[in-house]
């Protein structure tokens, strides 16, 4: 029998002895020996910090983003091979799609975040803070990669997605990872890690794999390290409370299984599209991944006068579920991940039977297709009914981690929210309603106890990702029982792996540190017009000082005619009584347009196009007779990759536009975004 290996210290290796034999969840056959015994975790973590961390920190956010994109493209090309391995975890093709392609999708999504970060190894956070009367002393914040390693302890149910959704974030931040999947399904994680290492896309040391039990993996964590744990709340809280985790201020993110709820809105009647949507969505959540999802619907809240209708429709759909080998025709639900999970599931089913009525399933004898029931880790969809969920409260405490859920009634929406919140914190709650006001009330009242709220109706159903699907650009986590952690979340997720530090100094100093022009910093006049310079030649702070223009009544009238903007303040001096204006005022957009005419060098040159405007403000009225000039300053530079061999090599340059009057006061501010050609394209 082969070994399911570890990848540590730059090599593939076996652990000492045998901690577990990973088995095929469908056939019960042994797949490989799993062990991480004997691994030197202190050396492994230090290897990640020194080897992987150093390499990642040298890369800019743009380079890290392109690295993730390259990895995602590589894995997409070979994704078919992972499906064959995934079947052995008990997953159907649809289950595997969520795990495999959902995981790769996380890489793509995080790669795209590079556009929200500077072309630096660190992040400049927010705006400057004025700290002195004359502007010679200011403050700012930067966020630098933590000089530690991310240790990801993952659950068994998503061997690929669970890894990729986490490492995509820490790699984007410039932090290396050590991944410890659940040993029972680690053979699938190992398969993907082998391909990632073979690709050579990631720097050595940025990803290590511990396939076995990993005992001792967090014994040597240090300040700057991050531990993420996905699994049972009880285990997670024990780890989180370890003295050395607390003493060394090690960041710990806990994402625990929770008693997620789905609510049928009080407005929904049988025959409405939303009624069918609700039944279909709940049925899908019970059977997808055989219910082994941290986001699965465990509690179903229904208006008390709709209980019979929902029970009848839901049991009819669940009864049609074909269970068996995911590769067999007609099979819609595979198995649990292991026999151990089957045993735990039935223990909890028996506990729930004591306080509520069993409506469907719960038995250990049923038909399977293409497999033998006794050899595989199979379970059947099970539905309970709890007619008094405020009295019989086991359902709000006991989780069956499998295809099991409980139907319960509520009197009004306030009571539905109360029931949903009795789960003591969840990863997700959903409501199906055709009334947006009901959706709003539920979302606002329930949000404090749920990490995500889905409001589903017929208008969004076709494109909805569903109750159970966390998305990479939104936060995933939840309060209370769900662990109080937060993963993914787009840019927010990346910031978890960065250390925010306040910096103080002269605007010139802060400009140098942030590589973004700061108000009050020096503005040396550019030796040649900035529109005549290539991307590499431009220097932050270099400024074009334009000629000046005196605004006239004719300018204002002409702009009103051309633009069609005849707002009274620009064209009717008799209508200004009671306003803040002293007379007819120039259009703000005229001032900006005139400024463009003043700062633009019209000849063909390195500037390819002007494609945007940010942070535009009109700060002082401009009246006829006032004279304006422009300070046009190189504010920030962001490199841009070529999309193809034929693409023009270029970068993004942000220019600060400061329009001022004859007194020197600023009348308008804006940031202009341009694409600028690089030198090698001339």
Q: Which CATH number characterizes residue 388's domain?
A: 3.40.309.10
Residue 681's pLDDT is 53
Q: Are 558 and 462 contained in the same domain?
A: no
d(CA 314, CA 281): 10
d(CA 574, CA 10): 79
Q: Are 250 and 291 contained in the same domain?
A: no
Q: At what angle do helices 161-173 and 186-199 cross, to 10 degrees?
A: 40
Q: Tokens 């009571």 appear where?
A: 415
Residue 257's pLDDT is 81
Q: Are 427 and 255 in contact (CB under 8 A)?
A: yes
Domain range for 122 is 40-256+492-498
Q: Are 252 and 268 contained in the same domain?
A: no
Q: Are 305 and 267 in contact (CB under 8 A)?
A: no
Specify if 514 maps to a domain.
Answer: no
Q: Residues 6 or more apart from 208 whose CB is under 8 A from it?
A: 6, 7, 8, 9, 44, 47, 48, 52, 176, 177, 178, 179
Q: Tokens 């020096």 appear where?
A: 522
Instruction: Please choose, from the candidates 356, 427, 423, the residue with its C-alpha nearest in 3D space to the C-alpha of residue 396.
Output: 423
Q: Are 82 and 192 in contact (CB under 8 A)?
A: yes
d(CA 496, CA 251): 9
Q: Are 32 and 11 in contact (CB under 8 A)?
A: no
Specify if 5 maps to a domain.
Answer: no
Residue 616's pLDDT is 92
d(CA 389, CA 422): 10
Residue 682 has pLDDT above 60, yes or no: no
Residue 432's pLDDT is 97
CATH number at residue 102: 3.40.605.10
Q: Are 62 and 171 contained in the same domain?
A: yes
Instruction: Please choose, from the candidates 668, 651, 650, 528, the residue with its C-alpha nearest in 3D space to the C-alpha of residue 596.
Output: 668
Tokens of 151: 């240790």
Q: Residues 6 or more apart from 459 whose CB is under 8 A from it?
A: none
- Count of residues in the chain: 682
Number of domains in the chain: 3
Q: Are 181 and 278 contained in the same domain?
A: no
DSSP secondary structure letter of residue 14: P
d(CA 60, CA 639): 10
Q: Tokens 């969520």 appear where?
A: 98
Alpha carbon dihedral 143, 147, 148, 154, in 10-degree steps, equals 40
In order of 69, 474, 621, 644, the CA distances from 106 in angstroms are 10, 11, 48, 23
pLDDT tens readout for residues 493-550 = 999 999 999 999 999 999 999 999 999 999 999 999 999 999 999 999 999 999 999 9
Specify if 19 maps to a domain.
Answer: no
Phi, psi values for residue 7, rounded to 5°: -120, 100
Kindly calculate the radius of gyration of the chain based on its CA atoms and give it in whole angstroms.
Answer: 30
Q: Are 545 and 568 contained in the same domain?
A: yes
Number of Cβ within a 10 Å radius of residue 115: 12
> What's the mean pLDDT in 604-627?
91
User: What residues pair up with 229 in beta bridges, in sequence order?
Assistant: 153, 254
How confident is residue 234, by pLDDT bands cut at 50, 70 and 90?
A: confident
Phi, psi values for residue 593, rounded to 5°: -65, -45
Angle value at C-alpha 43, between 39 and 49, nearest 5 degrees: 130
Q: Are 365 and 244 contained in the same domain?
A: no
Instruction: Please choose, from the candidates 261, 308, 284, 298, the residue with its C-alpha nearest in 3D space to the C-alpha of residue 404.
Output: 298
Specify if 509 maps to a domain.
Answer: no
In order of 39, 416, 629, 671, the CA distances from 668 in angstroms are 62, 52, 11, 11
Specify if 629 maps to a domain.
Answer: yes
Specify if 13 maps to a domain.
Answer: no
Number of Cβ within a 10 Å radius of residue 649: 15
> What's the mean pLDDT in 654-664?
95
Residues with catalytic function: 255, 294
| Range 571-607 burial, b when 16+ CB lie within 10 A, else e | eeeeeeeeeebeebbbbbebbbebbbebbbeeeebbb
Q: Are 227 and 281 contained in the same domain?
A: no
Q: Residues 6 or more apart from 406 whose CB is under 8 A from it?
A: 298, 299, 300, 352, 356, 383, 384, 385, 386, 389, 395
- Answer positive or negative: Cα dihedral of 332, 337, 341, 343: positive
Long-range CB pairs of 15-24, under 8 A, 24+ apart, other chains included: 15/39, 15/211, 15/212, 19/183, 19/212, 19/213, 20/183, 20/184, 20/212, 20/213, 22/183, 22/184, 22/185, 22/186, 22/187, 23/184, 23/338, 23/339, 24/88
Number of Cβ within a 10 Å radius of residue 537: 16
Indicate the average pLDDT of the chain: 92
- Answer positive or negative: Cα dihedral of 647, 649, 652, 656: negative
User: What residues pair up with 256 in beta bridges, in sequence order?
Assistant: 231
pTM over 0.85: yes
Residue 317's pLDDT is 94
Residue 201 has pLDDT above 90, yes or no: yes
Q: Which of 454, 481, 498 is the last residue of a domain?
A: 498
Q: At what angle do helices 273-287 and 307-319 cross, to 10 degrees?
A: 50
Q: Residues 6 or more apart from 124 whose CB is under 8 A from it?
A: 118, 140, 141, 142, 143, 514, 515, 516
The top-scoring range by mean pLDDT among 153-157, 405-409, 457-461, 595-599 is 405-409
Tokens of 334: 């595979």
SS3 89: coil
d(CA 238, CA 249): 16
Q: Are 361 and 456 contained in the same domain?
A: yes
CATH number at residue 603: 3.10.129.10
Residue 318 has pLDDT above 90, yes or no: yes
Q: Tokens 């038909």 appear where?
A: 367
Residue 123's pLDDT is 94
Residue 255's pLDDT is 85
In order of 62, 255, 360, 456, 509, the CA distances from 231 in angstroms are 33, 7, 27, 27, 46
SS3 312: helix
Specify if 518 maps to a domain.
Answer: no
Q: Are 94 and 118 contained in the same domain?
A: yes
pLDDT tens readout for residues 265-289 = 999 999 999 999 999 999 999 999 9
d(CA 76, CA 103): 10
Q: Residues 6 or more apart from 73 whose CB is under 8 A from it?
A: none
d(CA 435, CA 266): 9
Q: Are 63 and 111 in contact (CB under 8 A)?
A: no
d(CA 363, CA 356): 16
d(CA 68, CA 62): 10
CB burial class (10 A; 0-12, 13-18, 19+) of residue 528? Answer: exposed
Q: Are 318 and 413 in contact (CB under 8 A)?
A: no
Q: Are 271 and 405 contained in the same domain?
A: yes
Residue 145 CA from chain centroid, whole number: 18
Phi, psi values for residue 73, rounded to 5°: -65, -40
Q: Are 72 and 219 contained in the same domain?
A: yes
Instruction: Please choose, from the candidates 116, 121, 122, 124, the residue with its C-alpha nearest in 3D space to the C-alpha of residue 141.
Output: 124
> What's the mean pLDDT in 100-127?
92
Specify if 32 maps to a domain.
Answer: no
């Amino acid at each position: 029998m082969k070994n399911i290996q570890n990848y540590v210290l730059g090599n593939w290796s076996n652990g000492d002895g045998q901690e577990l034999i990973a088995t095929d969840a469908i056939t019960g056959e042994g797949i490989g020996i799993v062990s991480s015994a004997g691994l030197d975790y202190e050396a492994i973590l230090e290897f990640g910090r020194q080897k992987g961390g150093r390499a990642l920190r040298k890369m800019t956010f743009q380079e890290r983003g392109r690295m993730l994109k390259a990895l995602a493209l590589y894995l997409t090309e070979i994704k078919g091979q992972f499906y064959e391995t995934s079947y052995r975890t008990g997953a159907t093709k649809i289950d595997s799609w969520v795990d495999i392609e959902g995981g790769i999708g996380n890489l793509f999504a995080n790669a795209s975040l590079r556009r929200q970060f500077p072309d630096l190894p660190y992040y400049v956070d927010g705006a400057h803070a004025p700290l002195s009367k004359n502007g010679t002393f200011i403050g700012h914040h930067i966020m630098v990669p933590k000089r530690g390693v991310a240790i990801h302890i993952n659950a068994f149910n998503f061997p690929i997605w669970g890894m990729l959704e986490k490492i995509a974030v820490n790699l984007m931040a410039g932090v290396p990872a050590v991944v410890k999947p659940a040993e029972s399904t680690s053979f699938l994680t190992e398969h993907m890690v082998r391909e990632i290492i073979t690709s050579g896309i990631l720097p050595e040391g940025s990803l290590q794999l511990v396939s076995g039990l990993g005992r001792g993996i967090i014994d040597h964590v240090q300040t700057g390290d991050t531990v993420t744990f996905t699994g049972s709340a009880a285990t997670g809280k024990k780890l989180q409370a370890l003295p050395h985790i607390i003493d060394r201020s090690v960041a710990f993110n806990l994402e625990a299984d929770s008693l997620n709820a789905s609510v049928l809105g009080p407005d929904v009647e049988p025959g409405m599209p939303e009624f069918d949507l609700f039944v279909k969505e709940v049925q899908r959540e019970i059977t997808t991944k055989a219910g082994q999802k941290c986001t699965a619907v465990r509690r179903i809240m229904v208006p008390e006068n709709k209980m019979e209708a929902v029970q009848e429709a839901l049991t009819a759909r669940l009864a049609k579920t074909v269970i068996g080998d995911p590769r067999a025709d007609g099979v819609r639900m595979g198995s649990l991940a292991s026999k151990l999970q089957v045993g735990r599931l039935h223990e909890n089913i028996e506990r729930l039977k004591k306080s509520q009525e069993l409506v469907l399933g719960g038995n250990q004898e049923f038909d399977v297709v293409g497999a033998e029931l006794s050899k595989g880790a199979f379970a059947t969809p099970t539905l309970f009914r709890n007619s008094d969920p405020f009295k019989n409260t086991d359902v709000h405490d006991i989780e069956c981690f499998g295809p099991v859920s409980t139907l319960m009634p509520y009197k009004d929406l306030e009571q539905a929210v109360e029931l949903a919140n009795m789960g003591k914190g969840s990863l997700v709650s959903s409501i199906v309603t055709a009334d947006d006001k009901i959706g709003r009330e539920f979302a606002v009242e329930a949000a404090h106890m749920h990490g995500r709220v889905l409001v589903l109706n017929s208008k969004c159903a076709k494109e909805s990702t569903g109750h159970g699907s966390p998305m990479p650009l939104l936060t995933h986590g939840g309060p209370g029982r769900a662990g109080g952690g937060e993963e993914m979340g787009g840019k927010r997720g990346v910031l978890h792996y960065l250390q925010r530090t306040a910096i103080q100094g002269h605007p010139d100093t802060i400009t140098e540190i942030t590589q973004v022009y700061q108000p009050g910093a020096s503005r040396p006049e550019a030796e040649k017009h900035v529109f005549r310079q290539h991307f590499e030649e431009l220097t932050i702070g270099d400024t074009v000082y334009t000629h000046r223009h005196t605004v006239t009544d004719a300018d204002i009238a002409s702009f009103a005619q051309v633009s069609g903007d005849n707002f009274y303040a620009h064209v009717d001096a008799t209508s200004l009584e009671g306003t803040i204006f002293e007379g007819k005022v120039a259009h703000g957009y005229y001032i900006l347009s005139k400024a463009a005419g003043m700062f633009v060098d019209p000849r063909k040159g390195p500037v390819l196009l002007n494609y945007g405007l940010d942070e535009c403000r009109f700060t002082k009225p401009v009246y006829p007779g006032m004279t304006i000039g422009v300070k046009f300053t190189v504010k920030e530079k962001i490199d841009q990759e070529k999309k193809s061999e034929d693409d023009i090599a270029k970068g993004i340059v942000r220019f600060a536009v400061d329009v001022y009057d004859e007194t020197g006061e600023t009348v308008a501010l804006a940031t202009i975004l341009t694409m600028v050609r690089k030198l090698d394209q001339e």
